Amino acid sequence: MSARAVVRHEIWTLEPDREPDAEPTTYAMQCAVCEATSAAGVDFGDPQDWVLAHCGRNPSHHSYREIITRPWRTWRRP
Protein backbone atom coordinates (compact mmCIF):
# COMPACT_ATOMS: atom_id res chain seq x y z
CA MET A 1 0.00 0.00 0.00
CA SER A 2 1.38 3.47 -0.84
CA ALA A 3 0.85 6.78 0.96
CA ARG A 4 -1.42 9.29 -0.68
CA ALA A 5 -1.34 13.06 -0.24
CA VAL A 6 -4.13 15.53 -0.83
CA VAL A 7 -3.08 19.10 -1.52
CA ARG A 8 -5.64 21.87 -1.51
CA HIS A 9 -4.88 25.47 -2.38
CA GLU A 10 -6.75 27.98 -0.22
CA ILE A 11 -6.83 31.75 -0.34
CA TRP A 12 -6.44 33.59 2.95
CA THR A 13 -7.19 37.23 3.69
CA LEU A 14 -5.55 39.43 6.31
CA GLU A 15 -7.30 42.51 7.69
CA PRO A 16 -7.50 44.66 10.82
CA ASP A 17 -9.76 42.99 13.39
CA ARG A 18 -12.82 45.20 13.80
CA GLU A 19 -15.03 42.54 15.37
CA PRO A 20 -16.87 43.61 18.56
CA ASP A 21 -14.70 41.28 20.66
CA ALA A 22 -11.38 42.39 19.11
CA GLU A 23 -8.61 43.71 21.33
CA PRO A 24 -8.42 47.50 21.26
CA THR A 25 -5.79 49.34 19.27
CA THR A 26 -3.27 50.79 21.72
CA TYR A 27 -0.72 53.59 21.45
CA ALA A 28 2.56 54.23 23.24
CA MET A 29 5.61 56.39 22.67
CA GLN A 30 9.29 55.53 23.09
CA CYS A 31 12.20 57.90 23.49
CA ALA A 32 14.71 57.16 20.71
CA VAL A 33 17.54 58.51 22.88
CA CYS A 34 17.17 56.50 26.11
CA GLU A 35 14.48 54.00 25.00
CA ALA A 36 12.19 54.84 27.92
CA THR A 37 8.60 53.99 26.96
CA SER A 38 5.25 55.36 27.99
CA ALA A 39 2.43 53.16 29.16
CA ALA A 40 0.25 51.84 26.34
CA GLY A 41 -3.33 53.02 26.19
CA VAL A 42 -6.31 53.36 23.90
CA ASP A 43 -6.21 57.18 24.11
CA PHE A 44 -3.25 58.66 22.22
CA GLY A 45 -3.37 61.76 24.42
CA ASP A 46 -1.76 59.94 27.35
CA PRO A 47 1.41 58.93 25.43
CA GLN A 48 1.62 62.47 24.02
CA ASP A 49 1.51 63.87 27.55
CA TRP A 50 4.27 61.44 28.52
CA VAL A 51 6.48 62.71 25.65
CA LEU A 52 6.05 66.32 26.74
CA ALA A 53 6.85 65.46 30.36
CA HIS A 54 9.84 63.30 29.34
CA CYS A 55 11.38 65.97 27.11
CA GLY A 56 10.78 68.51 29.87
CA ARG A 57 12.85 66.36 32.25
CA ASN A 58 15.40 65.52 29.51
CA PRO A 59 15.87 68.61 27.29
CA SER A 60 18.29 66.84 24.93
CA HIS A 61 15.77 64.07 24.09
CA HIS A 62 14.09 65.26 20.87
CA SER A 63 13.38 62.01 18.98
CA TYR A 64 10.52 59.60 19.70
CA ARG A 65 8.92 56.51 18.19
CA GLU A 66 5.21 55.84 18.04
CA ILE A 67 4.25 52.27 18.94
CA ILE A 68 0.86 51.16 17.66
CA THR A 69 -0.52 47.75 18.53
CA ARG A 70 -3.40 46.94 16.21
CA PRO A 71 -5.20 43.58 16.25
CA TRP A 72 -5.37 41.74 12.94
CA ARG A 73 -7.27 38.65 11.85
CA THR A 74 -7.08 36.14 9.05
CA TRP A 75 -9.89 34.27 7.41
CA ARG A 76 -10.19 31.83 4.58
CA ARG A 77 -12.05 33.04 1.53
CA PRO A 78 -14.63 30.66 0.05
- Asked if pLDDT for residue 67 goes beyond 80, the answer is yes
60 Rama class: left (phi>0) / alpha (psi -120 to 50) / beta: alpha
What values do phi and psi take at 46, rounded to 5?
-65, -50
In terms of Cα–Cα distance, which of 16, 9, 57 is closest to 34? 57
CA 45-32-37 angle, to 5 degrees, is 50
**What residues does each domain of the chain span?**
32-78
pTM: 0.77
The CA distance from 32 to 64, in Å, is 5
- Asked if pLDDT for residue 78 goes beyond 80, the answer is no
- Asked if pLDDT for residue 41 goes beyond 90, the answer is yes
pLDDT one-digit tens code per residue, 22-31: 999 999 999 9
